[in-house]
Amino acid sequence: MSDYGFDTLAVHAGAHPDPATGARSTPIYQTTSFVFESADQAAALFNLQVFGNIYTRIMNPTTAVLEERIAALEGGRVGLATASGHAAQVIAFHTLMEPGCEILAARQLYGGSLNQLSQSFAKFNWGAKFVDATEPENFRRELNEKTRCIFIESIANPGGFITDIEAIAAIAHSAGIPLIVDNTFATPYLIRPIEWGADVVVHSATKYLNGHGNSIAGLIVDSGKFDWGQNNKFPTLTEPCPSYHGMRFWETFGDMAFGVACRVLGLRDLGPALSPMNAFLTLTGIETLPLRMQKHCDNALEVARWLKRHPKVAWVNYAGLEDDPCYNLHRTYCPKGAGSVFTFGVTGGYEAGVALVNNVRLFSHLANVGDTRSLIIHPASTTHRQLDDDKKRAAGAGPEVIRVSIGIEDAKDIIADLDQALNAAAD
Ligand SMILES: *Cc1c(COP(=O)(O)O)cnc(C)c1O
pLDDT digits (tens, 9 = 90+) for 384-427: 887 788 877 877 789 999 999 999 999 999 999 999 999 986 65
Are the CB atoms for 348 and 312 separated by under 8 Å? Answer: yes
Pocket perturbation via mutation, ligand 1, pick of 113, 281, 369 by most ligand atoms within 8 A of CB: 113
Residue 204 C-alpha to ligand 1 middle, in angstroms? 4
For the stretch 348-364, pLDDT in tens is 999 999 999 999 999 99
Calculate mean pLDDT across residues 1-26: 93
Ligand 1 atom nearest residue 86's Cα: 9
Residue 75 neighbours by CB distance under 10 Å: 18
Percent of the chain with pLDDT over 70: 99
Strands 364-365, 375-377: pairing is: parallel
Atom 5 (ligand 1): residue with closest C-alpha? 85
Q: Residue 6 has what DSSP assignment?
A: H
Residue 90 C-alpha to ligand 1 middle, in angstroms? 12
Residue 424 C-alpha to ligand 1 middle, in angstroms? 32
Ligand 1 atom nearest residue 368's Cα: 1
Residue 217 C-alpha to ligand 1 middle, in angstroms? 9
More confident residue, 51 or 204: 204
Residue 84 C-alpha to ligand 1 middle, in angstroms? 7
Q: What is the pLDDT of residue 50?
A: 86
Atom 1 (ligand 1): residue with closest C-alpha? 204
CATH architecture label of 290-426: Alpha-Beta Complex (3.90)
User: Where do the CATH 3.90.1150.10 domains begin and end in the chain?
Assistant: 290-426
Taking CB atoms and a 6 Å cutoff, what residues make up the pocket around ligand 1? 84-86, 110, 112-113, 153, 182, 184-185, 204, 206-207, 216, 218, 369
Residue 415 neighbours by CB distance under 10 Å: 18
Residue 277 C-alpha to ligand 1 middle, in angstroms? 19
Contacts 24+ apart (CB under 8 A), 295-298: 295/408, 296/208, 296/337, 296/339, 296/340, 296/406, 296/407, 296/408, 297/190, 297/336, 297/337, 297/338, 297/339, 297/340, 298/337, 298/411
Pocket perturbation via mutation, ligand 1, pick of 184, 281, 377 by most ligand atoms within 8 A of CB: 184
Residue 369 C-alpha to ligand 1 middle, in angstroms? 9
Residue 220 C-alpha to ligand 1 middle, in angstroms? 13
Q: What is the pLDDT of residue 388?
A: 81
Burial class (CB in 10 A: 0-12, 13-18, 19+), 211: buried
For domain 6-285, the CATH class is alpha beta
Amino acid at 56: T
More confident residue, 315 or 2: 315
Residue 125 C-alpha to ligand 1 middle, in angstroms? 23
Are the CB atoms for 317 and 162 separated by under 8 Å? Answer: no
Average pLDDT value over all residues in the chain: 95
Percent of the chain with pLDDT over 90: 89
Pocket perturbation via mutation, ligand 1, pick of 89, 153, 201, 206 by most ligand atoms within 8 A of CB: 206
User: Where do the CATH 3.40.640.10 domains begin and end in the chain?
Assistant: 6-285
Residue 348 half-sphere exposure, CB side, CA atoms within 13 Å?
17
Q: What is the pLDDT of residue 308?
A: 97
Residue 236 C-alpha to ligand 1 middle, in angstroms? 26
Give the SS3 label for residue 219.
Answer: strand
For the stretch 73-126, pLDDT in tens is 999 999 999 999 999 999 999 999 999 999 999 999 988 999 999 999 999 999
Helix axes 61-74, 276-287, angle to 10 degrees: 40
Q: What is the pLDDT of residue 249?
A: 98
Residue 203: name the closest of 392, 389, 67, 371 by CA: 67
Pocket perturbation via mutation, ligand 1, pick of 202, 203, 207, 368 by most ligand atoms within 8 A of CB: 207
Q: Residue 122 has what DSSP assignment?
A: G
Calculate mean pLDDT across residues 122-151: 97
For the stretch 290-324, pLDDT in tens is 999 999 999 999 999 999 999 999 999 999 999 99
Is pLDDT at 183 greater than 80 in this prediction? yes
Q: Is residue 12 very low, low, confident or very high in pLDDT (cuts 50, 70, 90)?
A: very high
Residue 179: name the closest of 190, 159, 160, 163 by CA: 163
Pocket perturbation via mutation, ligand 1, pick of 110, 187, 209 by most ligand atoms within 8 A of CB: 110
Q: Is residue 1 very low, low, confident or very high in pLDDT (cuts 50, 70, 90)?
A: low
Q: Residue 34 has what DSSP assignment?
A: -
